[in-house]
Structure 1
């Protein structure tokens, strides 16, 4: 019995938990799990592709500031039967034109600026997705860690109660206890076996969630790491969050986009000036050049332009209100995360006290039962209380670690870069720089491959 308790004293916070017989050197740390989640996340891949699509919007907006060069060829054939003079007639014409918007009140330039702001907003959204992916990995890791310890506790509880049952049966044989005591021990063993089945089921569920979050099933976990540093107060956490949280950054860029769209709607009511030059040549080798300046302005469009301005104004007001609401929600998340952490810390401390008290109660009850002052039921109850206390300690510790990383996420700091995972991270500038200048042909083949290779995707 004493050996069993010493075993639990050493394993309640064990540094190594294994699902199979593998070396400790191969154990997977939480950092390993975070790295795997970062590399294997299809959700990150999806949102990176959406960011690259937004980058292409910049290229398209930039193209509106450049001349458009077009080539056209036309051919005509007139059947003699339908010609007025009864003669067959064929003709061909080749034409090359170039056109450029000289002045549009700044519409195209503001459209370019708006797409750049949209790219920045999309980048912030990508950081938010990265935080969700990493937090899910932390949750999955701690769930498996807690489930493994719970299974270990349940297994050892089964062995202990089986020993209690054998001892009770021996005492029954010599008349020290009644058949009722034996039945109570048998009932307790059945309950312990049921709890072990439930613990194994919880572990199986945690393993599936781990695979979804990290990209593979867990083999061996090295234990829980050192706690990451966080501010000492919720006020400090909120101060960081309002400056760095990706949701706020995204909302700020969306406000800028709406302001630019309002300016574009107003500019659309003004005149525009386009210039074009052309060259044409027909099948008779006759050629000609032409140049044109065209000034145009809409005088009446049924109220469409003013409706577009009012709509842009309403959208701007909505995004500004959305920014203020986002700040409130982020502050709320910080407060909730901090409260959850405080509760978890208190539960860990209370669980330690509970374990000490339950241990003393169990030892005393066991000794008193040996002297005949306690019944078998008292011993089994005390043993169950000790098991419940240790299980609660495991759950509280796992909750505390997840809560700390939740605080980091609420501050906008749960990123691969801030955590110092030591791996190449996705560089959004690489693709943007390759396409934002609107090159005449796609650079995806070489540039994108290098971007993906840098994060280990190819």
Structure 2
């Protein structure tokens, strides 16, 4: 995804990408220093602890579905007993008869659920919705990770550039101090002129120390997000959001944003839980069979008996003190809240898209102006330095122009960093800041692989699909996305950045 402006900005980055702090020597067991943004993104995608942890959470969530499907299958248990019994019976006054002994019994219990009026199907759909929620939470974590890596990479480049600019500014002021000192000795400038230069030199040293401190802080954030030290960082590759208008960005975000998709999945989870709570009011049907092998009497193992029993059991809830009604009301309110949060997710996504869009357009248009300002400030300073030697400019004039040059060059480096990060933030808000989209050759982590391995582990052939289909009949739709209820769902904040001037 390459556009002309991105290509121009990538070239401009080369002017500020040279570091002033060399990366530390890597030990034998440490990864090599990162020098390209593509390397940083690939390392984070493969080894970032937060991202790896979220993938593990999703894999654990995948197990919910076979667990829910297993409720359709038979349940078989065996119970064995070895008991001692002793009884004494009074036959007549003062005359007792006692009997005692050991006996062993074994019972096989078989239960096959048949119909639950949607309880089990609701649990099955809840599991699927939780998996969908987990996948979108993984996408959010991945987007946040990629955005952090891009921001840390670009801001480290910016801070290194600012430190280099500050060092050049200090060298410039130091030369000015040397020249002013020589001129003071021959009485061409006053002591006030010399003190003004000395003041700016001290200020320049402080600015350089602060800039170097910012480089160290940025490097620590870089290591935290990538797990590797930075080397000599090359200019980041062009990054094209792929949209020409804010409305296009809105449309993509509403279809692909993981924040909105996660909110939809969360609403489906609570909707399924509401359906399960409502199904508790209705009967449940199951088949139960038992087989027993034991003794005729509980006092001896000498004579044995075998028993087989089978029944269709219908359980009908009657009175429970209002606990079912309370669960239903609680589930209704929880689902209504999740439905409202869907509207909130839409607002949050649109706000993030609009903010990133305006930041991108504003920074993009300001970069060229900062570049021209930096060129003009350089020429103004060089001209003033020459004019000062012939007395046409004062020392203060030259110092002020040196300060302007420092400020403009620093702002130029910051504008380029902000423009690139705003592009990445816009992609993240739209749901497209994913490593495989940024790096087509990267091996993608596919959550569907683990789910396919887990999916059918709870099934009993023929029985589970048939009973699942029957149990779904009383349940209302649990799979479609709910419509937005927010009256402002059709209100979109526009761009306040004016069109680029020729």
TM superposition score normalised by structure 2: 0.80
**1:361 Cα shift?**
1.8
Provide, for residues 241-283 of structure 1, a one-character-per-residue CA deviation record: whole Å limited to 9, x for no partner.
Answer: 0000011111222222333333222222111111112222235
Partner in structure 1 of residue 472 of structure 2: none
Q: Distance in 1 between matches of 2:20 and 2:45?
A: 24
Find out whether 1:406 has 2:425 as its counterpart: yes
Q: Where do 1:242-253 residues align within 5 Å?
A: 242-253=254-265
Q: CA deviation at 1:81?
A: 9.9
Offset of residue 212 of structure 1? 1.6
User: Equivalents in 1 of 2:22, 2:272: separation in Å?
Assistant: 59
Measure how far apart 1:401 and its partner are: 0.5
* Count of residue correspondences: 431
Greater per-residue helix proportion:
1
Tell me the residue number matched to 2:392.
373
Change (3 A) 1:259 1:11: closer
Alpha-carbon shift at residue 99 of structure 1 (Å):
0.5
1:38-437 equivalences under 5 Å are: 38-78=45-85, 86=98, 88-282=100-294, 285-437=304-456
Q: Which secondary structure does the structure 2 equivalent of 1:93 belong to?
A: strand
**Residue pair 1:12, 1:149 contacting (<8 A) in 2 also:** no
- TM-superposed CA distance for 1:207, in Å, is 0.9
Distance, in Å, in 2 between the alignment partners of 1:420 and 1:300 is 61
Q: What SS does the aligned partner of 1:221 have?
A: coil
* CA displacement, residues 408-454 of structure 1 (integer Å, 9 cap, x when unaligned): 011011111221352222221222222222359xxxxxxxxxxxxxx
CA contact (8 A) 1:27 1:222 kept: no
Counterpart CA distance in 2 for 1:82 and 1:188 is 113
SS in 2 for 1:218: coil
Residues 8-29 of structure 1, C-alpha deviations (whole Å, 9 max, x = no match): x998724544632899x97611
Query: 1:59 touches 1:435 (CA, 8 Å); kept in 2?
Result: yes
Aligned partners of 2:345, 2:80: CA distance in 1, in Å?
Answer: 55
Structure 1 residues 10 and 305, CA gap change in structure 2 (3 angstroms): closer
The residue that corresponds to 1:444 in the other structure is none
Partners of 2:110 and 2:218 lie apart in 1 by 63
The 8 Å contact of residues 19 and 164 in structure 2, kept in 1 or not, is answered as no
User: Mean alpha-carbon deviation: is it higher for 127-136 or for 308-317?
Assistant: 308-317
Q: CA deviation at 1:226?
A: 1.6
Q: Is the 8 A contact 2:14 2:235 kept in 1?
A: no
Question: For the Cα contact (< 8 Å) 1:67–1:99, is it kept in 2?
Answer: yes
Unpaired segments ≥5 residues, structure 1: 1-8, 441-458
Q: Name structure 2 gaps, 5 residues minimum.
A: 1-10, 26-31, 91-95, 295-300, 460-502
* Distance in 2 separating the partners of 1:229 and 1:313: 40
**Residue 19 of structure 1: which of 18, 21, 43 is its match?**
21
How much does 1:225 deviate?
2.0
Distance of aligned partners of 1:113 and 1:12 in 2 relative to their CA distance in 1, 3 Å threshold: closer
CA distance in 2, matches of 1:308, 1:439: 28
Task: Please give the TM-score of this superposition, normalised by the length of structure 1.
Answer: 0.88
Farther-moved stretch of structure 1 (411-420 vs 182-191): 182-191
SS for the counterpart of 1:396 is helix
The root-mean-square deviation of aligned C-alpha atoms, in Å, is 2.6
By how many angstroms is 1:188 displaced? 1.6
Q: Secondary structure at the match of 2:134?
A: helix
Q: Equivalent residue of 1:64, what SS?
A: helix
Q: 1:451 matched to which residue of 2? A: none
Residues 284, 316 of structure 2: 8 Å contact kept:
yes
Aligned residue for 1:4?
Answer: none
